[in-house]
């Protein structure tokens, strides 16, 4: 049987108190059963942002990529993510490079939220899939960039309030 590796990620440790871990695991488990795959759930970045790319160099995704590069993950294995934004929220160019590395290593990537399954053959034979992928990667980055901008504005207001003698 073929192995599927779920990659579960969320950005802040506080999200561990919510439903993100259970939800992502349950979706991966359902997908693996439906597709006759053996599921490996050992790759979790709980409280690690995907916006800066740090998850590529530290943590579970970094370990998974090292295993892919070393040939320890078999070609024709699957990587399951709840949504493409779990894999990366970096700028589109860098996110696409990560995605391409995984696909060119012979893996199939399943994005569960939109029922997209990406592999090298489908991306070569169905170029419209690249449009969908680029749109998803761009959206993921834009959402994180907008959130970062809003947080900077809030903190700037708080600092201005404190410097002005007020409390905010």
Catalytic residues: 11
**Cα-based distances in Å from 78 to 59, 61, 105, 144:** 19, 14, 11, 26
Alpha helices in 49-111 (DSSP H): 54-57, 60-69, 84-87, 92-104
Residues recorded for the chain: 168
| CB-based contacts of 74, cutoff 8 Å, min separation 6 | 3, 106
């Amino acid at each position: 049987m073929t192995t599927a590796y779920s990659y579960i990620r969320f950005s802040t440790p506080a999200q561990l108190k919510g439903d993100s871990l259970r939800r992502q695991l349950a979706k991966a488990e359902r997908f693996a059963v439906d597709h006759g795959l053996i599921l490996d759930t050992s790759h979790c970045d709980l409280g690690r942002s995907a916006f800066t790319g740090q998850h590529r160099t530290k943590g579970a995704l970094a370990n998974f990529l090292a295993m892919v590069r070393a040939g320890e993950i078999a070609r024709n294995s699957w990587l399951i993510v709840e949504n493409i934004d779990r894999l990366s929220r970096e700028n589109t160019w860098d996110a696409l490079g990560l995605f391409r590395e995984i696909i060119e290593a012979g893996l199939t990537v399943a994005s569960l939220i939109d029922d997209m399954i990406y592999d090298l053959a489908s991306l070569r034979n169905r170029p419209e899939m690249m449009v969908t992928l680029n749109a998803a990667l761009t959206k993921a980055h834009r959402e994180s960039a907008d959130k970062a901008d809003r947080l900077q504005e809030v903190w700037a207001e708080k600092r201005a309030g404190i410097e002005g003698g007020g409390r905010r």
